[in-house]
Copies of this chain bind each other. A is one copy, B any other.
Amino acid sequence: MQPNQKHKLDRRVQRTVQSLRTALLELIKEKNYDDISIEEITERANVGRATFYLHFKDKEDLLLEEFTEIMDVRAQALSEIPFSEWLANSDDGSGENKPLRPLLLVFQHIHDHSELYYLPVQSANASKIVERIRKVTTEAIVKFVENKMQTDPIPLLFEVPIEFFAAFFSGALVSIVSWWIKEDMRHTPEEVTTMFRSLFFGGAQDTLGLQPGAK
C-alpha cells in the first residue's frame, strides 16, 4: 500500500515546493519574467536544479501554482452563488444593463490580482497558462450546466452541445480578459462585465443593432 496517497505531503516536498514558489515570486518582482532562468530559481531556493523537475514541468508550471491558489478561493465563492444569479437578466424594467454579479466577481478577481494575471498575457512563453485557465473555465461551465440541468431542467441547450457552449464562453472570456489587460485595464470591472454580459447573453444582433439582411 502506498503510505501517502492524499494523506500528508512529505516534509521535504513541502519545503522544496515552498522554497521554489517564494523564490519565483521574489524574482518576478526584481526582473522580467521571461528573463528568469530555472537555474536562478533553484539557486535562490537552495534546491538542486534536477529537483525542480521532480515537481514542475517548467517555469510556467511553477507559476501556475500561484494561479491555482488564488483561483480556488474565487471558485469557492462562485460555487456558492445560486443559479438564478447566473442566468438572471436585467431586462426587468429596473433600468439598463446592470453587471451580472457572478461575472463581476470574476473580473474583479482578475483586477485584484492583475500583477499575476498580466504575466501570461505579456509574456511570450507563458501561453500554456492561458490555455490552462481556459480549460479550467470550460470544465467549470460544463459542470455548472450539468448541475443546472439536473436540479432544474428548464428548456435549455436545444441546439448546441454543452461542450460547444462552454468552449464558446470560455474562449470569449479569456480573450476579453487578455484584451482588457493589454489595454492596461482602462475599463472598470463593472464596465467589462456589462459589455460581456450584453454580447454573450444578447448576442451581436441585440448588442450592435445588426439587422437581418443589412446592406
Contact = CB atoms under 8 A, between A and B. Distances in A.
Contacts of A211: 87, 89, 154
Contact of A201 (B124, B165, B178, B210): B210
Interface in A194-215: 194-196, 198-215
Interface in A146-201: 152, 154-160, 163-165, 167-176, 178-179, 183, 194-196, 198-201
Nearest to A213: B88
B204 A205 contact: no
A83 interface: yes
B160 A168 contact: no
Contacts of A209: 154-156, 158
Contact of A215 (B84, B91, B157, B196): B84
Number of copies: 2
Contacts of A127: 127-128, 130-131
A168 B176 contact: yes
B178 A167 contact: yes
A183 B163 CA distance: 10
A175 B165 contact: no
Contacts of A171: 171-176, 178
A92 interface: yes
B212 A204 contact: no
A168 B159 contact: no
A213 B89 contact: yes
Nearest to A215: B84
Given A175-B134, A211-B87, A212-B89, A200 B201 contact: no
A181 to B, nearest CB: 11
Contacts of A205: 89, 201-203
Interface of A: 83-84, 87-92, 97, 124, 127-128, 130-131, 134, 152, 154-160, 163-165, 167-176, 178-179, 183, 194-196, 198-215
